Amino acid sequence: QALPRSAIELRCQCIGTHSKFIPPRLIRNVNLIPSGPHCKNVEVIATLADGREVCLEPTAPWVKLIIKAILDK
């Protein structure tokens, strides 16, 4: 669900968000992109253990919890 990433991101990267819970152990990293002139949405892109990139919904409670869990570990 993430569009290919260009060197400099000039537009929104996500065309949708993954709605189902992803177990934290499958997440290799999480990229937070604030909204700005390039895109009106906050974007949260998780790279999974298998290399896939999925867009997550920044307002979803489980997404906030996963981010908190990463920081608190």
How far is Cα 63 from Cα 23, in angstroms, rounded to an integer?
A: 10
State how far Cα 50 lies from the chain centre: 15
State both tokens at 56. Answer: 């997550």
CB of 18 to a copy of itself, least distance (A): 16
Say if residues 23 and 37 touch (Cβ distance below 8 Å).
Answer: no
Q: Tell me how crowded residue 30 is: count the other CB atoms within 10 A of its CB.
A: 15
Q: Which is nearer to a copy of itself, 16 or 26 (CB)?
A: 26
Among 3, 39, 48, 58, binds a copy of itself (CB under 8 A): 58
- Binding to a copy of itself by CB under 8 A, coded x per residue (else -) over 5-44, reads -------------------x--xxxxxxxxxx-----x-x
Q: Which is nearer to a copy of itself, 2 or 27 (CB)?
A: 27
